[in-house]
Structure 1
């Protein structure tokens, strides 16, 4: 239902996406992960038909998405800066949803709004940042579009309401399966929710894999430096850290036996993604270790 082949997006001389390829063929919840400025929002806008690619092939439900009415009718893109007509209150906005989206769950939207303690007599532009985020997400979930694109939907929400919103996303997906792509900096909060991770790095797909596979890509070796460091010759090292007397190394997973005096810790998918997208300049530890100011 979504195909990207060698997609590129440039703004002037600045390249945002390059040689980006992936395919999604069935309903699932996917976490779109990457550091700031890597092109997550740009990719979602391309899939929603709001932005045209500079090169490559993009198809959404078999159509080129840019300004395509079929794609627009079956896709919703929820972002932080979205707006609604200022003359309409939230009640009127929700009641108009079914005019644009054939599967719009109006009753569900009102129940979720009531659950979130937001009056439907409010106007969208008068809501707080957190309330806007909640309403936007409710609107996106209630649309029940075949392609649901959520760009940083939890921004501005407190932790309690974020937990509720994650549960709502999962319950509605189970009731009405569709492709849901969620861009977020809260991967550690979403690992129980998403099935696969689409990780962007330097404008390309660094990996696209199930959460469990990502979690198993690397491990952490922990112990005294004199025990850990000599053992690293046998591993592919991704990162090292020194915390006082404790030395830690994140390495590619392998079947090698643990060296004496070294213990292993499993990593979350969030931890693995952080390491895979660490700049070539190294970690904070490397900066302080090599800084002339510390000489």
Structure 2
């Protein structure tokens, strides 16, 4: 359904994506994860056919996606910047949607708007940021496109409505399975929802694996530095952090026995992704300790 092979995207001299390769062959919900600026939105725009690749290959439903009518009919891309005709009310937008998406679930869309307490008489540009996010997500899900691409769909929503919208995503996926790729900084909220994680780092694919496999990649050792450090040569050390008397080291999962007086903690998929894309050693606390040690006060 989706295939990328050595995909690259450049804007002038700036390379945003480089040698991106992955394949999705069946309906599933995938979390597209990565730090700001790694190319998540660019990748989604390429898959939606809005942006042309610079080199390499991208195929969606067997077609090159850029300005392709087949892809346009089978894929929808929802982002913050999506706009609708300013002369149409939300009611008119939803009623006309079936002209573009033959599977559009019009009645479901109206029901979800009523649930979110958004009046169908409103105009899209009149909505608050959170209301726009809800409407955009409802529109994207109700389209029932075979390829549904959601770029930070929860931005602006409060915590309560986010919880409801995660349930909507899952229920609609169960009712109408398709490929859903959700770009989000809220992975800790979505771990129960996504089946696989596609992690971008420095413009390329750092990891593409099922959530449960990601959770088993590493563990955290917690204790005093004197108890942990002598054993680190035996481990694949991924990150270290010293917080007062507590020393935390994240290491690749293995069957080695634990040092004395050391606890082992499992990691969430969100934590694991932070480890793979974050600073390997030190923390904000270290910066402030250094700053305070050199501070002079009058």
What is the TM-score with the length of structure 1 in the denominator?
0.97
Deviating beyond 2 angstroms after TM superposition, the runs of 4 or more aligned structure 1 residues are 282-295
Segments of 5+ residues of structure 2 without an aligned counterpart are none
The 8 Å contact of residues 242 and 285 in structure 1, kept in 2 or not, is answered as no
Task: Give the corresponding residue for 1:211.
Answer: 211
Tell me the distance in 2 between the aligned counterparts of 1:283 and 1:86.
Answer: 50
Corresponding position of 2:44: 44
CA shift for structure 1 position 259? 1.0
Contact 1:78–1:150 at 8 Å: present in 2 too?
yes
Return 5+ residue gaps in structure 1 as ranges. none
Shift in Å at residue 279 of structure 1? 4.2
* 1:138-217 equivalences in 2 (<5 Å): 138-217=138-217
Question: Distance in 2 between the 1:135 and 1:24 partners?
Answer: 28
**Aligned equivalents of 2:192, 2:32: Cα separation in 1:** 15
**Residues 36 and 261 of structure 1, relative CA distance in 2, 3 Å threshold:** same
Aligned CA-pair RMSD? 1.4
Matches for 1:1-295 after TM superposition, within 5 Å: 1-279=1-279, 282-284=281-283, 288=287, 291=290, 294=293
TM-score by length of 2: 0.96
* Aligned residue-pair number: 294
**1:233, CA displacement in angstroms?**
1.2
User: In structure 1, how many angstroms separate the alpha carbons of the residues matched to 2:290 and 2:56?
Assistant: 43
Aligned to 1:16, the other structure's residue is in SS state strand
Q: Distance in 1 between matches of 2:282 and 2:84?
A: 43
Q: Displacement of 1:294 after TM fit?
A: 3.5
Structure 1 Cα separation of the partners of residues 65 and 236 of structure 2: 41
CA displacement 1:40-88 (0-9 Å, x = unmatched)? 0000000000000000000000000000000000000000010000000
Check 1:226–1:131 CA distance in 2 against 1; reply closer, same or farther (3 A cut). Answer: same
Alpha-carbon displacement from aligned partner over 1:145-195 (angstroms, at most 9, x marks no partner): 000000000000000000000000000000000000000000000000000
* Contact in 2 for aligned 1:241/1:285 (Cα 8 Å): no
Distance in structure 2 (CA, Å) of the matches to 1:33 and 1:108: 29
